[in-house]
């Protein structure tokens, strides 16, 4: 089992000192990856329901810093050597796919292949409206953008013909190592699970009980089979509420038995009264070391 840290670019980690401390500490104790979140803007008032809190509102307030995920990850990569860097997630339909493909390929190349691109369709309608991007058909837009970026990464003189992205004989360089960047599909809906099965290199449901996750994994697997793909080649990332309980090894094992190969935990777990280094050492001893993690 591999272990990643999510919400890595929020709270005290949004600032440079916190970023460097988190990234270097995580790498030193054996975390496999760092995962960022994204919002371009924070509407003062919004009716959209935040799906990851019972209150339906994002934690913090409009003064909370949420740095651009790719720029934050570039600084993290520059201050580390081996830890993977990942967006978890980037709101793909809010981006121009050609511009994003260039940014992602550049970061993938400069980080020597450590980047994974986690993407989602978004939940905050007011953000789309502020950006002037249609809310409707954002799922189809996402599918097209995935295809467009992969075409640009794969080779020169690329072409793609989709409803929301279309180009002929264009070239974008640099290319990412191997001509690809792993794309991880985020989301806890059946639509996200099906998209992961059809198009994803990985699947990252943001929430769910073990029963709910198992159902989503089944949906993903069926979609992959229907698309002529091997479901086992789609890496699954997920969290477990009991990972910091009395039996973290048991929680990791339960995830592994469900097909999860990366357990994700909040970066805030490294904050403690004794300091980040001491808290990280505690996590290493209780969670990472007992045969569960890739270190």
pLDDT 10s digits, 192-206? 999 999 999 999 998
Greater model confidence, 42 or 250: 42
Confirm whether 139 is domain-assigned: yes
Task: Kindly tell me if the per-residue pLDDT of 292 is higher than 60.
Answer: no
Determine the average pLDDT of the residues in 110-127: 98
Rounded mean pLDDT of the chain? 94
Residue 259: give its domain's CATH number.
Answer: 3.20.20.30
For the chain, what percentages of helix, strand and coil (3-state, to nearest 5) are there? 45, 15, 40
Task: Kindly tell me if the per-residue pLDDT of 294 is higher than 50.
Answer: no
Confirm whether 157 is domain-assigned: no
Confirm whether 256 is domain-assigned: yes
Q: How many domains does the chain have?
A: 1
Q: 216: cis peptide before it, omega within 30°?
A: no
Task: Kindly tell me if the per-residue pLDDT of 290 is higher than 80.
Answer: no
Confirm whether 294 is domain-assigned: no
Q: Angle 69-78/97-110 helices, nearest 10 degrees?
A: 10
Confirm whether 249 is domain-assigned: yes
Confirm whether 75 is domain-assigned: yes
Task: Map tokens 């089992």 to a residue.
Answer: 1
Q: What is the pLDDT of residue 295?
A: 36
What is the DSSP secondary-structure string of 117-159?
A: EEEE--S-HHHHHHHT--STTHHHHHHHHHHHHHHHHH-SSEE
Q: Do residues 110 and 176 make contact, with C-beta atoms less than 8 angstroms apart?
A: no
Q: 89: cis peptide before it, omega within 30°?
A: yes
List the structure tokens of 21: 């401390």
pLDDT band, residue 282 (cuts 50/70/90):
confident
Confirm whether 248 is domain-assigned: yes
Q: What is the pLDDT of residue 293?
A: 46
CA 97 to chain centroid, in Å, comes to 17
Q: Do residues 149 and 97 make contact, with C-beta atoms less than 8 angstroms apart?
A: yes
- The pLDDT > 70 percentage for the chain reads 98
pLDDT (tens digit, 9 = 90+) per residue, 233-259?
A: 999 999 998 888 888 888 989 999 999
Q: What is the pLDDT of residue 291?
A: 53
Confirm whether 86 is domain-assigned: yes
156 vs 171: CA distance, rounded Å? 5
- The whole domain housing 211 covers 2-144+179-288
């Amino acid at each position: 089992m591999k272990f990643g840290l999510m919400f890595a670019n929020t709270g005290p980690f949004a600032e440079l000192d916190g970023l460097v401390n988190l990234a270097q500490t995580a790498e030193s104790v054996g975390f496999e990856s760092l995962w960022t979140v994204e919002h371009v803007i924070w509407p003062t008032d919004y009716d959209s329901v935040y799906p990851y809190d019972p209150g339906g509102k994002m934690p913090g307030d409009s003064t909370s810093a949420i740095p651009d995920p790719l720029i934050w990850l570039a600084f993290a990569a520059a201050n580390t050597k081996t830890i993977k860097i990942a967006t978890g997630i980037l709101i793909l339909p809010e981006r121009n796919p050609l511009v994003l493909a260039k940014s992602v390929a550049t970061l993938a190349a400069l980080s020597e292949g450590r980047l994974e691109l986690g993407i989602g369709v978004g939940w905050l309608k007011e953000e789309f409206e502020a950006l002037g991007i249609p809310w409707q058909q954002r799922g189809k837009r996402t599918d097209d953008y995935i295809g467009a970026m992969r075409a640009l990464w794969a080779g020169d003189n690329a072409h793609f013909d989709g409803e929301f992205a279309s180009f002929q004989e264009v070239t974008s360089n640099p290319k990412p190592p191997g001509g690809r960047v792993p794309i991880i599909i985020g989301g806890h809906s059946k639509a996200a699970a099906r998209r992961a099965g059809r198009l994803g290199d990985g699947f990252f449901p943001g929430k769910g009980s073990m029963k709910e996750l198992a159902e989503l994994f089944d949906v993903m697997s069926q979609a992959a089979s229907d698309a002529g793909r091997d479901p086992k080649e789609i890496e699954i990332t997920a969290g477990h509420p009991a990972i910091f309980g009395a039996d973290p090894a048991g929680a990791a094992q339960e995830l592994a038995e469900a097909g999860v190969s990366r357990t994700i935990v909040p970066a805030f777990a490294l904050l403690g009264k004794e300091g980040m280094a001491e808290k990280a050492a505690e996590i290493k001893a209780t969670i990472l070391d007992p045969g569960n993690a890739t270190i």
